[in-house]
């Protein structure tokens, strides 16, 4: 089977969505499928909208011969008109959208999301089917499109790392003296909620340390604002910024931390929470999006409303003051991970869906 995958930029970009795409491509190639990457330039939203009228973009799509054309939904501003042109020429080729989450679901002024919703509706209606990463994402797409097309639910795996922490190791980590080690793992952009986490931590006794690991280059204005916030709150001794990390470095921080806190204003799913649970880390997320499909509040993590530093502080204080509770939640988090689908299972279900769509 010959497959194409349309993305922005490069598969090497560090984010959960690109990780999903990268693992899927590797799996399909190992199954003997031919997968060609069509990388479009990732520019401003208005400039990507102009791609719909670009002969060069259409040539990129048309020059490869495929049985199924997969598109990361992130590319929707470039493709809603291009897809209609493509389908006129290649009526026999299904166009499948891989939807991590909708842009119009993110927290921003309502008028902006009305615009994004319009563009995403045009794009989603130009495709023949969907790959969903969560029930939340599926509901969002159904609400926008108004009707369902062939689809597969393929939640991300969490077994990228070979986590081998035993019950004894989790107990030793939870009971070890010293500050509560908190890990924020994600690119430093407003949606990930680091500013909210800092505001929450500033209200607590300084019995904690925070490592913020992720790209410092995706929104430099936000990074400057966060650094100013750290200085204003007097947290310079407690907060460390690492920048992007290699996989072995990520694993090391996950192994030595006590809790993972990424209070995003919206996550279509949240691979990072499952990966943290593989190391027995209780996960702190928000009620917006797909994290509710992973985390059981008070059992293996906490769910708080977005942009709620007071609620976030209450949850963190529980773990700060009660190491027995921390241990119980750590053990529960690992059990949640063990019951979670693997990447192998996830990719296998997508592979079968693509074969069915292509009639192979």
pLDDT per position as a tens digit, 78-98: 999 999 999 999 999 999 999
Provide the whole-model pTM. 0.92
pLDDT at 163: 78
CATH 3.40.50.2000 intervals, the chain: 2-156+342-358, 167-338
Select from 155, 99, 349, 105 the least CA-distant residue to 270.
155
CATH topology (fold) of 2-156+342-358: Rossmann fold (3.40.50)
pLDDT at 148: 81
Each residue's pLDDT, cut to its tens digit, for the chain (360 residues) gives 999 999 999 998 878 899 999 999 999 999 999 999 999 999 999 999 999 999 999 999 999 999 999 999 999 999 999 999 999 999 999 999 999 999 999 988 999 999 999 999 999 999 999 999 999 999 999 999 987 899 999 999 999 998 778 999 999 999 999 999 999 999 999 999 999 999 999 999 999 999 999 999 999 999 999 999 999 999 999 999 999 999 999 999 999 999 999 999 999 999 999 999 999 999 999 999 999 999 999 999 999 999 999 999 999 999 999 999 999 999 999 999 999 999 999 999 999 999 999 987
Which superfamily, per CATH, for 167-338?
A: Glycogen Phosphorylase B; (3.40.50.2000)
pLDDT at 15: 85
List the strands of the sheet with 68-72, edge to edge: 34-40, 2-8, 68-72, 95-99, 129-132, 151-153
pLDDT at 193: 97
Determine contact, residues 193/265, Cβ cutoff 8 Å.
Answer: yes
């Amino acid at each position: 089977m010959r497959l194409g995958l349309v993305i922005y930029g490069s598969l090497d970009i560090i984010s959960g969505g690109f990780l999903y795409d990268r693992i899927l491509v590797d799996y399909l190639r190992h199954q003997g499928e031919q997968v060609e990457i069509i990388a479009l330039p990732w520019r401003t939203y208005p400039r990507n909208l102009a791609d719909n009228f670009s002969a060069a973009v259409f040539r990129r799509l048309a020059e490869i011969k495929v049985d199924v054309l997969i598109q990361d939904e992130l590319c929707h501003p470039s493709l809603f008109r291009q897809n209609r042109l493509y389908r006129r020429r290649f009526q026999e080729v299904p166009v499948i959208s891989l939807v991590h989450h909708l842009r119009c679901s993110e927290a921003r002024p309502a008028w902006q999301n009305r615009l994004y919703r319009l563009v995403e509706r045009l794009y989603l209606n130009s495709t023949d089917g969907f790959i969903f990463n969560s029930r939340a994402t599926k509901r969002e797409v159904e609400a926008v499109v108004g009707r369902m097309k062939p689809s597969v639910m393929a939640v991300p795996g969490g077994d990228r790392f070979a986590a081998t922490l035993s019950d004894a190791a989790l107990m030793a980590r939870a009971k070890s003296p010293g500050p509560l080690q908190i890990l924020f793992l994600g690119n430093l952009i407003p949606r990930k909620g680091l500013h909210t986490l800092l505001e929450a931590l500033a209200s607590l006794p300084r019995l904690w340390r925070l490592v913020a690991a992720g790209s410092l280059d995706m929104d430099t204005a936000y990074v400057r604002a966060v650094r100013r916030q750290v200085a204003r709150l007097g947290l310079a001794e407690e907060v460390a910024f690492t920048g992007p990390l290699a996989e072995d470095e990520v694993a090391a921080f996950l192994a030595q931390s006590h809790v993972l806190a990424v209070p995003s204003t919206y996550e279509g799913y949240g691979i990072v929470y499952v990966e943290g649970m593989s190391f027995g880390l209780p996960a702190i997320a928000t009620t917006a999006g797909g994290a509710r499909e992973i985390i059981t509040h008070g059992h293996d993590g906490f769910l708080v409303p977005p942009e709620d530093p007071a609620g976030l502080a209450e949850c963190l204080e529980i773990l700060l003051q009660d190491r027995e509770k921390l241990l119980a939640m750590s053990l529960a988090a690992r059990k949640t991970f063990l019951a979670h689908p693997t990447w192998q299972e996830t990719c296998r279900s997508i592979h079968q869906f693509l074969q069915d769509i292509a009639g192979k």
